[in-house]
Amino acid sequence: MFKYKEEIEHHLIYDIIPFWKKLRDDEYGGYFGYVDYDLNINENAVKGCILNNRITWFFSNAYAVTSDDSLLAEARHGYEFLRDKCWDHDNGGVFWSLNYDGTPADTTKHTYNQAFAIYALSSYYDVSHDTEALNLAFELFDIIEEKCRDEEGYLEAFTYDFRPESNEKLSENGVMADRTMNTLLHVFEGYTELYRVSRNEKVGEKMKWILDVFASKIYNPERHRQEVFFDSDYNTLIDLISYGHDIESAWLIDRGVEILGDPGYEAKIGPVTRDLTANIYKTAFDGHSLPNECESGVVDEKRVWWVQAEALLGFLNGYRKTPEHTEYLEAAEAEWEFIREHVIDPRCREWFMHVDAKGNPERGRPIVEEWKCPYHNGRMCIEVIK
């Protein structure tokens, strides 16, 4: 039994939720997009649509586990901003970012961002029963399938009118990727949530197709990892293992397979996710926390906030799937102890973006920005409660 459930539930209700409630923008909609290291809110900062969609998802799911009506109101506030401002009413799909007043800033249409909007809309529909949100989720599903992929799989970045453009937004480490493991994972995640709330067979079939791609193109059985960045033919572009993505993928893919309920895919995918979990535990986990990644044999030792959250969930999932591996339960508990002591910012109780291997925060990093949100740490709390 995981011994920190009540402590983590308290952290969600009394720390994370109040912090994000304070960022609500009642004048222009959505949530303020930037809080600096010194906890100053920039009310004129760009509002990332990924940030807003993840906040909408977070409040929807926080309401689901607490039944606190104020959280459903927050989720609706985020949903209305998504529907009215993030959405491109001329060309369809969701912009990358908006100015503080809700006007378009970056009109890129990225497949990753469309997937997170599906994730938010599906969760919001689940708690609100607002069929408008579900209809928008299916509209985005059709956009991804018709405009954001080719016969071999999902592509990455597009202009506002869905003409292909280069993928700076999800390419890192000196490469420019035509396809990424990260986008594929989160399309699967968005589709999983849409399938969960709708049981639409067309969505389920696309989930199975993605699982086949993970097993045959993304997972590298010889190196017990996923490859990260690819050209259009799925040739890997770099010797890189993303520790956080591998452990996140293990539990997210397991969850999707469980929701599908197909015994054939349980048999096919289970060995993959078990191998990813075992490899991260053996090669990356240091007894209390998880480094960021390893490129060409060189480990990036910073402890990134989201990597710690996903490590805790991934190890708990590994223990749930294989209860004889009690070391995974111990790893999840050690991760929480590291998070509690070093990653949670004592000034505001939200999490630092980065700490070093000894738990010292990287000063100057913002507490909130386009990618820094309550999705990973909030989801960690919610999944532990569930």
Res. 172: pLDDT tops 90: no
CA gyration radius for the chain?
19
- For the cut 90, the answer to whether the pLDDT of residue 296 exceeds it is yes
Q: Residue range 99-113: average pLDDT?
A: 98
User: For the residues 62-82, what does the mean pLDDT come to?
Assistant: 98
**Which pLDDT belongs to residue 290?**
98
d(C-alpha 314, C-alpha 318), whole Å = 6
Q: What percent of the chain has pLDDT over 70?
A: 100
Q: What's the whole-number average pLDDT of the chain? A: 97
Confidence tier at 98 by pLDDT (50, 70, 90) = very high
Q: The tokens of 115 are what?
A: 């997937």
First to last CA, the chain: 13
Res 32: pLDDT = 98
C-alpha torsion sign, points 280, 282, 283, 287: positive
Strands 97-98 and 104-106: antiparallel
How many angstroms separate the CA atoms of 279 and 290, rounded? 12
Question: What are the pLDDT digits (tens) for 3-53?
Answer: 999 999 999 999 999 999 999 999 999 999 999 999 999 999 999 999 999
Q: What is the mean pLDDT of residues 116-126?
A: 98
pLDDT tens sequence across 200-211 = 999 999 999 999
The reported pLDDT for the residue numbered 227 is 98
- In sequence order, what are the residues at sequence separation of 6 or more whose Cβ sits closer than 8 angstroms to the Cβ of residue 296? 238, 239, 240
d(CA 248, CA 304): 13
Average pLDDT over residues 276-302: 98
69-81 and 111-128 are packed helices; what angle lies between their axes, rounded to 10 degrees?
Answer: 140
For residues 238-255, give the mean pLDDT.
Answer: 98
Residue 1 has pLDDT above 90, yes or no: no
The whole-number pLDDT of residue 114 equals 98
User: What are the structural domains of the chain?
Assistant: 5-385 (1.50.10.10)
Question: Looking at the predicted structure, is the pLDDT value of residue 128 above 90?
Answer: yes
Say how far apart CA 359 and CA 312 lie, in whole Å: 16
Neighbours of 94 (CB within 10 A): 26
> 352-383 pLDDT, tens per residue?
999 999 999 999 999 999 999 999 999 999 99
Q: What is the mean pLDDT of residues 244-265?
A: 98
Kindly tell me if the per-residue pLDDT of 245 is higher than 90.
yes
